[in-house]
Structure 1
Amino acid sequence: MLKRLLLCCLLLVPAAPVLAALVGAPLMRLEGGLQQPSAVAVAEDGRAFVLDGLQRRIQVFDPRGALRDSLPLPPGTMPATDIAIQGERLYVADPTAHRILILDGQGRLLDELLPRPDERTVEPSALLVSQKQLWWSDRRGHRLCRSQLDDGRSTRCQGGQGEMPGRFRYPYMLAADARGYVLAVDVLNARVQLFAPDGKFSGSMGRFGLLPGQLFRPNGIAVLEDGGVLVSDAWTGSLTLFRQRKARGLLRHRDGRPWRFAMPVGMTRWKDRLYVVDLQSNRVEVLRLTDDGRPAPPLPQGGPSRDSRRNCLQCHVSWSPDHVPEADAPVLPVAEPRMCLSCHHGAVVDSRPRLGQGHQHPTLHEARDGKPAGDAQRFEEDEVPQDYPLAGERRLYCASCHTPHDRPEGGEPLGAERSNPWLRKANRDSALCLDCHASRRTAAEDRQRKDIERLNHPLGVIMKRPPKKAAAGYAAWEELQQGLPDALKQAGARLGTQGRLICQSCHQVHGAEGEPLLAAKQEGSRLCVTCHQAQHSRDEKDARRKGVHPVGLKLDEEVELGGKTIRRVDCLACHSVHDAQPGTALLPRGKNARSLCPACHGRQNARDKEDALKKGVHPVNTRLDDPVKLAGREIRELDCRSCHSVHEGVQGTPALVADHADGTLCKSCHEEQEKLRHTDHDLGKHPAAHRNRLKAPWKDAGLCGACHSLHRGKGEQPFLFVGAAWQVDDKRDLSLRDVLCLSCHHEGNQVDAKPVEDFSHPWKDLILRSDVEKMPLLDEQGKISEFGRIGCITCHEPHHWRPGNNPPQGVRKDDRGNEEGTVQSSFLRREDLAGSFCVNCHGREAKLKYKYYHDAAGRGKKPDYLH
C-alpha cells in the first residue's frame, strides 16, 4: 500500500521541462573602423551606438548596419567602457576620469557627473538606466551604485570588495529584467548578482569553471524577452544561457555548434536581435535569436562550486583538470596576451591605450621578417639575464618582464600610483631596460671615453635649469632645461629621478607610436625635433634665418653615409642614436666631424690648395702658417667646421660661426682685406638690384660675398671671383687678373665705376723686375712674380682706399658722403716711387706717370702692338 501511495505521489510530481536550445543566426556585422570597442546601446528606432574605445568616439549605425555618424567624445575623455541610452540622451562611463558623461543624440556634452559617495574616488565602468535611476559599477570601490536621474547627484552605493553575497571583485556590465531587478556581472567572482529595484540583494547565478555552462571571465549581459539571461565570457568566447538562475546551455549556431567569439564583452538585446561586442575582433556581431524547438544538449557535470584554488586558476587556467590545451601553443595560457587583455580591457583595469594600439615590445607572439620577434638569439651584443625567464628556444614573452607574484625592491605591484606594473625589477631610471640592452647604456661622460666601441644618445642628463652656469650633468641648451616637451609627455614619455633623461623619455614599451618603439613617429626627424627645436628648420629659408643646417631636403642625388643610402636630409642622416662613432656628436660609425660633410658636399671639399684652385672653392684640409682666432676658437687647420657650425650658427647666415655679411667671418684670416669696408669697393652699399654672377644681390651677399664665393667659384676665375659679369671685348692682350677689375671698370657698368680705357703697359720688349711686397708683377699665367708685366694690382690694392689705409676705415661715413678719389688715394699702393722699378726707366718722370697712368696725355706714344 505504501509503495502504491509513493508511486502515485511520484506520478503527480511534474516532470522537468525540456528546454529548447537558443540559436543565434548571423545577421550582420558592425565595423566602421572600430578599435577595441567595449559596449553598444540600441535606441528605440534601431540605431546602434557603439562605444569605440581607443578612437574615443561613438559610431552610430542604422538598423541595416550602415555607418551613419561618428560622434567624438568630449576632450579629455579616456577610453570609455560602457554606454547606456534613454530617449535622446546618451550616458557614457569614463572610469579613468572618474566621471559619467551625459550627451545628446549628436554627441554634444549636456552634463557630466562627478560622483564622490562617501568622499571616495570612484571609477564608473558600467551603466544602466532603469526606473528613473542610473545604476553604475564602481570598479575601484568594488561597489554597485545608483544615482537619481532627476538630479543626477544623489547617490547610494553598496557592496565592497569580497566574495560574500552582495560583495564584488570588480563589478562590470549591468542589465535589468522586466520586474526592474538589476543583474550585475561580478568579473573575478565569476558570477552574476541580482538586486531588487530598491538595492536589496536577491541572489546570484553562475559558478567558476571552464566547462560549458560555467563562467571563467564573465563580462557582458543581456536579458531576453522571455526572461532568460545571456552572459558573455571574455576568455572562453562563449555565451551562456541562464533560466531560473540556472545555466541551461550555450548560444549555438543552427547546426548545433556553440558560438565562439574572440573576446565578447558588452552585449544588448533589441527585439529579436542580439548585439555582441567582440573587442579583439574590432567589431559588433548582430545575431537574430530563435528557438529551433530542439532540446538543448545537456551540460556536463562540473566540480564543486567553490574551488580553493580559484584565485590561482583565474590566470593559471592550465592547472584546471577541465583545461584542454591548444595544439602547438607557444606558451601556457597564463602568458598569453589574451589572458592579460581579458582583465586589462577595462573590466578590471584599462590598458587598451597601451596594449591595444601602436607598436609593442617584441614577444614570441609577433613576427618580424618571418621570424619570431621575441627571439632573444637575435640580440647581436647583449644577453638576457637569467632573472628574466624565456620560453622555448630562448624567446621573450609577457612574463619575461611581468609577474604578479613578486614585489620588487622599490616598486609596488599595484599601489596607489601604479608606479610598477608587476615588473620583475623596479625600473627606476630604466634599470630594467638596460639589463637586457646593456650596449645602449650611455652616460653623459661617455663622449670622452676611448674604450667604448659605440656611442649612444646620452642618458642621465638632467633636463632642469642648472644651479649654476655649466653645472655638470645638466642640459647645456636652455630649451632642454625646461623638462620633457609636452608632446612627449602626452605620448606617455617621461623622465627619471631628478628629471633625468632615461630610455622611456623616447621609447614606449607598449603602445609606441613609431618604430622602434618610439613615443612619436620619426618621419622627418619628428621625435628629435620635439626636444631639439633650435636645430630644426622648416625649409632652407628658415634654416638661414636660424643659422642652422637645413633639414627635410630631398637630395638631387642620393649619397651613401654610414652604410645607409640617404635620399633626404634629416637628423638621422647625420646622427646615429644608438650606433655612433665614439668621440663624436652621435655621427655614423666610421665618420668624424671632419669626414662627415664631404659625404654630401663633395663639391665644396678639396684635398689641398691645388685641388681647391681647380674646383674654385676655398681651401680646406690645409694647415695655416699662423693660427687665427675665429668665434673664440683657435684655428690651426682649416676644415668645414672652421667656418660652419651645423646647429649653432649665427642667425641669418648659412650656419656660419660668425657673420659673413659684415666681413666678420673673413676678417679672422683676411684682416687686411677687410679694410675695404665703406669704400666704393664695398659693393653691399649699392642698391639691392645689383647682383653678382651668382644672381645674389650684393647687399645680401655681404662685404666679401659680392665679389667672392667660398664654394661656388670656377677654377678658371682666380680668388673665387664671382663679381660683375662682363664679356671683355678687347683685342688687347689682357691678363686674367686685370679682367676682374675691368668687369666693373668699363663703359656702361652697373655700379657707376670709373671706366678705364688706357690700362696696358708695354712688356713684350721689356724685362721688368720688382719687389713683390711693394709693387707686384704678373707672369704669363697671371701669378704674382718678381719678373713679369705690369697689371692692375701692381699699382692698386683693391682692398685699401689709400696707401697704408690710415685711417683703416674708408671714405664712406654713414652713407652721408663720398670722397672723390685723387692721385694720392684711389686704392693706390704707394704715394711715392722712391726705389721702385718705375724709376729705373722713367727717372724723374716716374712719379708723374704713376699718378697719371690712365691719362692719355701722360702716357706718351704707345708701341704698335698695343693698338
Structure 2
Amino acid sequence: MRKSLLLLLSILVAPNVSEAKLKKSMKKECLVCHENWLLESKIKSPNLLTTESYRAADKLMCLTCHDGSMADDRLTFLGFKHFSHPVNKKVPEDFKMPKGFPLQNGRLYCGTCHTPHTKTGSEKKLDYTFMREPNVNSSLCMKCHKENEEHGRNHPIFKEEREPLKLEYALKIEKLGGKLTDDGKVRCESCHSAHRGRAKNALIERADNSLLCSVCHIENVNSKEHPNFRNHPIHKKLPKNADVSFFKENKAVTKSVECMTCHKVHKEENKHLLVANERKLCILCHVSEKPVLKTKHNISDKGCSSCHIAHKAKGRKLWSREIPEDAFDYAALIEARGKTDILCLSCHYPEHVINGKEVETVGTLTHPTGKKVEGKVKLPLPGGRLACTTCHDPHHSFNNNPKGKFLRKERVSLCITCHREEADVKRGAHGEIDKKRWKKGDCAACHNVHKAKGGYLSRVVYGEISPMEPPVDGFCLACHDPEGMAKHKVKESIFNEHPVGVDNPTDKLPGRKVSCATCHNPHTHKEELLRIPVRENSKLCITCHTDENLTNSSHDILKNRNVKLSEKEREEIVKHGSCSICHTPHNPKFKVLWSRKPGKGETIGERLCSSCHSKGGLAEDRTIGRFSHPIGEKVTEKNRSMILNSRLPLVNQMTGHVAKRGEKGVFDCATCHDPHNGADKKRLIRYTLEGDSLLCTACHRAESKVIGTDHDMRVVNKNFKNALGKVVLKDGVCSACHVPHKAKDKLLWATDIKEISGNRMSDYCLTCHSKSGVAKDKVVKFYYHPKKDVTVRSFDRPGREGDWPIFDKNGKRVLAGGEITCETCHDPHVWSKWEKKPPMKPVEGSALNSFLRNRDLKGSICVDCHGLDALFRYKMFHWKKAHSKKPSYR
C-alpha cells in the first residue's frame, strides 16, 4: 500500500478521526516504513512535489501512517505539530544525552525515543511498543528530565505517602488522554502526552486558564466553574499596580490570575512551588497591603500568612486562623453583626495570647457594626453594612504609621465621614474641650470608639443619675459636675431642673423619653448648643409646651408696653427667650423652674406671682391689693370635687404644678389664671368674665342663681357702672358687687362702703339701697333691730329648717351674740322660689322681689322668730309711727 507524496506532505491534525481498533503485529514488512526509499529513483519526476529523500524515523516518515489516514494506525498524533513532544529541536551542547538515545544532526527526532528494531513492547504492552526502553512510571521520560523528578522542586509524582487519585479525577485524566501509575498515582503522563497533547508543553489540557490544574485540584480553586470563597479567586485580571514584570520573568501566566500565575510545576525552590516566597508573593499583586509587613499584624514575621491562606481557608477573606468559640461568644456579647467582624475577633477576644502577649480587645461597649448605612459613604461597607474594616484597614494605618490604630483616615476626619451632622462640633463650645490633649473638635474628647465607659460610647464615667433618667444625661453630668471638665456649668440649685426621663410629647415613637439631648445638640455651634433657638420667641420651649405660647398675651413681656424693662433686662430676655422672664431650665431659684427671686406669700402661686406683681416688681401696676380672693384655704372634699368638675385646677404645694387626681392641692393663683394662655389674653383667666361670669360661677354654683334677677345689673340697667368704672356687661354679672383683686373691702366688694347702719354686713346692702345709691328706688328706711336687752342666736327654729345667719358689727358671722342684718333674712344671690320665673323687670311694691331666705311657705319670715305677734313687731321695727321710744329700740 503506497501513498502519494501529497499525503506525505499533508501533516494535519485530525481530532475527529477515530482510532482504528489496532491489531498488533511485530512482523510487518519492512516496506511499511522503508517504502520511501523506493521513491529515490523518481526524485526527478515532475509529478512529485518534493525532491528530498526521507530517512527512517523521520517525522514525515512516521506521519505517513500516524496521521489518522490509515485504518491500521497504531496511534494518531493529533497535536504533533503544535502540542506534542518537540522534534527537530537542537539539543544544547552542555546537555548530556542519555546513552542509547540518538540525535539527528544534533537535533531531537522521532527516533530519539522510538525504534522499530527494539524488543520493547508486546501484545500486552501497547504503551511501550517501539520505545527504546519501557516507560514504566515515566522512567523513559526521566532519562532526560531528571531535574523534574526531584521532590520539593517539582509537582509531586510517585509519592508513596499519597493516596491513589480519586476515581473522578482519574477518569478525567484518562478522558483527556493522560495516564496514571498502576496504583493510581500521578506520573509525567498524567499531565503530559508526548503525541496527543492539547496545549503547549504537550499538556493534556491548557494551563494558562487553570483548566489543567482544576482537573484534580477542584477543592483548591475558586472560579465561576468551581465557586468556593475559601480559595484564592482565578480567571481575574491582575491588579493595575501588580508587578507583572516579575511574573513574566518567572514565565508565569500573566493574562489573568491563574494557578500558574503563582505556582510553577517544575524546578521551583519555594514552598508549595510558588514563584516567590510567601512573604513576597502576595504583595507583588496586593501592593497597597505591603505596609502590613511593618505593623504588629505581621505576627511572628509570617507576612500575609499570619492571617490569610490561598487555599482551603478557615473563613472569609481567605482567613488562615481557626475561629474559637470564645470569639463567637465575644461577638455576641458586643453585638458585632458585621459579616467579617468575626475575622478580627478571632484574635481580638478577651484573654487571647499571641507570642506571649495578651491581644488588645475592643471592650464590652464599642462602636456598633452590622448596621445598614443609607446614602453614599466613602468607606468600605461589606454588604452595605458597617464592619470593623469600615474604619480600620488591617494592612496599614493612616499616613503609613506602623504604630497607628490601622485607621483609614485621620481620626476626626474618619468620624465625620459618616457623622456629617456632628462635624459642626468643631465650631461649638464642645470643640474647645481640653485643647492640650486633643485637637480642636476631636471626637475622642467625649467618645471612645472602643472600650467605652458608658452609653453613646462615652469616654468618661457617668455621673450619678436615677434609674429613670436616660443614660445620655449621665454622659452629660460626667463633665457637668463640680469635679468635671465643665465644672463652670453645673447644677447648683436645690430645686429641680427641667425634668428628664418623662415621655417626650413630640416623639411619635412610644417610650421615648426627654433627656439632655432632647433640647441640646452637643455637636452644634449654635447658642447654648440648642437644637432650636430660644432667642426672643422661645421657639424651642413651645415646641413641646404648645399650650404655653405667650404670643400676644400680657405676659409677652417684650411686646407689653406697660412693662418697663431696663436695657440689660431686655437683652437677657431677648437672648434667652420670652419664657425666660419666669422660667429657666437649669439652676432655677424656686420650684417650677422659676428664674426670678420668689416674692412673699403663703402659697407657691402667691410667691411666684408676687415676684413681679408687687411693689418694685415688673408688674407693680397689677397687684392684688389688700382685699383679694382668698387662696391657700383648705378645700373640702365637696368643694374639691366641685372645683375639679369645673375644670379649674388645684395646685400641689409640694411641686407647684397642677394637682393630679389623687394628689392634694389647694386653691391658688393658677386655679383661676393660666399664666401662659388664658381665655382672656389680657387677664389670663381660664374662663371669660363677660356675660354670665363663667369663671366665678364655675365654683360659686349657688350664687350663679343671681343671673336674671333684679341683682343682675345687665338686666336692670345695661349702662350701670360700678365704682371701678367697669361696664358690667364686659366684666360679668358678679362685677356689679365683687372684684377678685383690689377690692374695696371684705367679700371682694367692688365699691366704696357707706357707713349707715353701724353693721358692716348691712352696710354692703345699704350702700346701694340708699337715697344716693344705685338702688335708690328701693331704699330701706328703717334698718335696725333691737341690739340691747336681746340675745340673738343662730339656730334652726322648731318645726322650720333654714339658715338665718347673724353677724357682729364688723360683718363677721357668729353663732351667738350677733346682730340681725339684711343678710340674715335676705340672700342677695337667690331670688325667691315663690315665682316659677323671676320677672325680668322689677314690680313696684311687690314683696316677691325681696330675695328672702324663706322660700318654702307663704307668709312673713318674721313669724319664724316672733310667732303670732310678728305683725306688731314688724311695725315696731319698720313703721316710725308705731315705733316705741324705749331705749332698747333706738
Structure having the higher Rg? 2
| Greater fraction strand | 1
TM bucket normalised to smaller:
0.3 to 0.5
Q: Which has the higher contact order (CA 8 A, sep 6+)?
A: 1
